[in-house]
Structure 1
């Protein structure tokens, strides 16, 4: 059984804490951008919106991105490393799916957007490893 002392040791002195916070706040920022300016958000994602009728889809993505980041913040604040590790690791499916969506929509020539999503997967995988490491 984990003691309170063991739980309290993980926090602001840990690289995995800051790496997780970086992703959480980054995806919240991206979500806010999708809500405020769905067109710019979609271009950054790699699949531009076609018409104003598509704006609600950008905003839907925005609120989901905000949730994806916000769900990690209480876990970080409470220094719940294992819970953070499981939630963060589960979330790797999002940039992995984004990579595949951009690949299927734009093909392999869209290197810049594929790199953004692919490097996010790599960064999150490394962070997940550090979160689980005792």
Structure 2
């Protein structure tokens, strides 16, 4: 007979584990893109860099994105579902704020970039629900 701990183990057999890992690794790559090529990263974000003086802001965003992904990796590695859920849920503020920034800068006609940020926030909300679900 298995103990409660053994039957309720969270990890690689859980969809929420892989959904979280997908976002963590994805945002690390996006951050690296901003550091390596801030202009390309900014175009993908939805607000292009106008002048050479703007390049450091792309790199700043890259560091933020890399941290957002890296902070989840030890929690996933240690299979800390509850801590992962709390950190991941808090991180929903990033794509939600990105959505609002693109909306206020480009207006509602920039559907493609608004969808990228909005769907990311929605995906993260669904993942958070699954992480908290027993």
Same fold (TM over 0.5): yes
For each residue in 1:79-127, what CA deviation from the matched residue of structure 2 results, as whole angstroms up to 9, or x when unmatched?
0000000000000000000000000000000000000000001100000
TM-fit CA distance, 1:5: 2.5
Runs of 4+ more than 4 Å apart? none
Q: Is the 8 A contact 1:29 1:66 kept in 2?
A: yes
Is 2:104 the counterpart of 1:95?
A: no
Structure 2 partner of 1:82: 82
SS at match of 1:59: helix
Is 2:129 the counterpart of 1:132?
A: no
Aligned length: 132
In 1, distance between residues paired with 2:124 and 2:130? 10
RMSD: 1.5
Structure 1 partner of 2:39: 39
- So what's the TM-score if we normalise by structure 2? 0.95
SS at match of 2:126: helix
Gap runs ≥5 in structure 2: none
